[in-house]
Amino acid sequence: MPRGTPFHSRTSALCESYAWRNWSGYVCASSYSLVPEMEYHAIRNSAALIDVSPLFKYRITGADAARLVNRVVTRDARGCKTGQILYTPWCDDHGKTVDDGTVWNLGDGAWRMTSAESNFRWLEESAFGMDAQVEDVSEDIAALALQGPLSKAILQAACDGAVDKLRFYRFIKTKLDGVPVTISRTGYTGDLGYEIWTDAGKAEKLWDAITGHGKGYGLTPAGLLALDISRIEAGFILAEVDYTPSRKALIESQSYSPFELSLDWTVSLAKGPFTGRKALVEEQRRGTPRRIVGLEVDWSVVERYYQKMGLSPEPPHLAWRSKIPVYAGLRQIGIATSGVWSPLLKRYIVLATVESPFAQVGSVVEIEVTLEGERKRAPATVVKRPFFDPPRKKA
């Protein structure tokens, strides 16, 4: 039975919608208000507070901790300095993605790995024969994502300027109203934002402190529906939606390599041996058969379909997660896996897997659109991801 996160006493009191979702065995708010779009607008225009405690967190120690990390991930962790974080996928022996997440260099030889899926047993098996210990600290650490253009202003007031010079994908240890915290400049919204990590026993005090400092900045608790809209705008892939972790794949087509995920920049083949390297070298040699891309659907065509039926056009204001065919001429060349009408960009944006010849920016394909049970097609153009990439995110 799903249980509450360390912040549940606070989030449950604010959840007017009574809309909850199971995330890795925890109940998390899908939305707090009856109008979840307002929570999205807080992410993009002021600041939003999102409970991300269900993320899995592992602490890796021992003389071979760095060696283990570099063995399992596709990035070259040797260049990751103390206080730095790397986003990376990690693969099985066939070069297919087991999961994607972050690795942290905590200093003193210790590392942290965060992920959406459970990876404890896989890490332990990978550490066989090494002087490396893997500890599951998921339940010990509570985490909040503070995201939006005013997030820095809130933390400046709350932490006496400790975050003033905090760079993108770096972290610091400090105190927030007396609560010991680790603050990382990371997030899943594609905007300026931070994630705040603390001992689970300090969760309620941390929530109260942040919300207190955020009162004058329009700070709003946001649920997973709002997060899903913003992560699509940011072009971020989601396990179990845009791809299936290789350990859960029932058929070959469900599992993806980092190249198929369009994460080429995260693969460091020159760093030396790592799990999946041989298969990835071979894939690079022969070519990647498919890619995840961003599509912009021609909404004017969809509008005409509605008008011909005598209906008012209804853009998908909430993110959808399903497999929708993508075509080129008479042939299906891929599937769309998630999409939404972007309130900020005023565009219908989609993440899709297409055959590599159609993955180039500017390529025009067609996506299936169903109205009143009738299947139709609308043109969609491959565009550069992220769809939304404000300068403030990395500034």
How high is the mean pLDDT of the chain?
97
pLDDT value, residue 332: 98
What's the token pair of residue 358? Answer: 């159609």
pLDDT digits (tens, 9 = 90+) for 111-121: 999 999 999 99
**Alpha-carbon span 355 to 332, nearest angstrom:** 9
What's the token pair of residue 391? Answer: 């300068």
pLDDT value, residue 38: 95
Contact between residue 54 and residue 23 where contact means Cβ atoms under 8 Å apart:
yes
pLDDT value, residue 105: 98
pLDDT digits (tens, 9 = 90+) for 233-274: 999 999 999 999 999 999 999 999 999 999 999 999 999 999
Contact between residue 367 and residue 295 where contact means Cβ atoms under 8 Å apart:
yes
pLDDT value, residue 161: 87
Q: Is 77 helix (H, G, I), strand (E, B) or coil?
A: helix
**Alpha-carbon span 395 to 129, nearest angstrom:** 42
Q: Which DSSP symbol is given to 278?
A: H
Average pLDDT of the residues in 216-230 = 97
pLDDT digits (tens, 9 = 90+) for 73-109: 999 999 999 999 999 999 999 999 999 999 999 999 9
Residue 175 has pLDDT above 90, yes or no: yes
Residues near 139 by Cβ (< 8 Å), separated by ≥ 6?
200
List C-alpha distances in Å: 272 to 67, 161, 287, 326, 360. Answer: 11, 41, 21, 38, 30
CA 17 to chain centre: 24
The helix or strand, by DSSP H or E, that contains position 44, with its residue range, turns out to be helix 36-45
pLDDT value, residue 152: 97
What's the token pair of residue 140? Answer: 């010990």
Average pLDDT of the residues in 295-323 = 96
Q: Which DSSP symbol is given to 109?
A: T
Q: Is 388 helix (H, G, I), strand (E, B) or coil?
A: coil
pLDDT value, residue 1: 79
pLDDT digits (tens, 9 = 90+) for 15-40: 999 999 999 999 999 999 998 999 99
Whether the link from the prior residue into 316 is cis, omega within 30° of 0, is no
The helix or strand, by DSSP H or E, that contains position 156, with its residue range, turns out to be helix 151-158
pLDDT value, residue 302: 97
List C-alpha distances in Å: 313 to 13, 38, 377. Answer: 36, 21, 15
Residue 2 has pLDDT above 90, yes or no: no
Residue 387 CB: number of other CB atoms within 10 A? Answer: 22
What's the token pair of residue 28? Answer: 């998390």
**Alpha-carbon span 111 to 100, nearest angstrom:** 16
**Alpha-carbon span 231 to 28, nearest angstrom:** 17
Handedness of CA 313, 223, 4, 208 (dihedral sign): negative
pLDDT value, residue 303: 97
Average pLDDT of the residues in 345-369 = 98
pLDDT value, residue 160: 84
Q: Which DSSP symbol is given to 356?
A: G
**Alpha-carbon span 194 to 191, nearest angstrom:** 9
**Alpha-carbon span 230 to 49, nearest angstrom:** 13
Q: Which range is least confidently modeled, 16-20, 159-163, 277-281, 288-292?
A: 159-163
pLDDT value, residue 61: 98
Handedness of CA 218, 101, 335, 24 (dihedral sign): negative
Residue 351 has pLDDT above 90, yes or no: yes
Residues in the chain: 395
Q: Is 170 helix (H, G, I), strand (E, B) or coil?
A: strand
Average pLDDT of the residues in 50-54 = 98
